[in-house]
């Protein structure tokens, strides 16, 4: 559950963040579903951007688990990009699973 932000300005940011979560999860899940060994680079880049944003801002707004799991998935992307070989089907399945699980870190009401 999200903690209550301490300042009115941060509370407004948290409210906007929570309101946008469903559409951001939809976008992230769309990229995750599109991952394939034949075509992964652009989807992986889009996932990386979204995951990095979640990892950075979510904990500040009280969504610690979302931030932690996003950071884990972002780390996997960085590891996959650092390899000399393309990601395997198993690598992409693991990344897809991690990305798809992010929605479950937030209660249905976004609180």
**Tens-place pLDDT, residues 55-77:** 999 999 999 999 999 999 999 99
Number of domains composing the chain = 1
Task: Count CA atoms closer than 13 A to 94's CA, side-chain side.
Answer: 13
Decide if 4 contacts 11 (C-beta within 8 A): yes
Q: What is the pLDDT of residue 7?
A: 86
pLDDT, averaged across the chain: 91
| Sequence-separated (6 or more) residues with CB below 8 Å from residue 25 | 102, 103
Task: Output the pLDDT for position 97.
Answer: 96
The answer to the question of residue 44 being in a domain is yes
In tens, the pLDDT along 3-43 reads 555 689 888 999 999 999 999 999 999 999 999 988 889 99
* C-alpha span between 45 and 104 (Å, rounded): 22
- Structural domain includes residue 78: yes
Look up the domain containing 97 and give its range. 8-103
Residue 3 lies in a domain: no
Cβ–Cβ contacts within 10 Å for residue 89, how many?
10
Output the pLDDT for position 39: 85
Give SS3 for 54.
helix
């Amino acid at each position: 559950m999200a903690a209550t932000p301490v300042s009115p300005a941060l509370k407004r940011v948290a409210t906007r963040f929570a309101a946008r979560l469903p559409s951001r999860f939809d976008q992230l899940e769309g990229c995750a579903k599109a991952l394939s060994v034949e075509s992964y680079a652009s989807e992986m880049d889009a996932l990386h951007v979204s995951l990095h944003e979640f990892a950075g801002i979510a904990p500040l707004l009280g969504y610690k688990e979302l931030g932690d799991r996003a950071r884990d998935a972002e780390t996997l992307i960085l590891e996959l990009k650092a390899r000399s070989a393309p990601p395997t089907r198993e690598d992409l399945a693991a990344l897809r699973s991690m990305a798809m699980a992010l929605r479950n870190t937030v209660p249905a009401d976004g609180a």
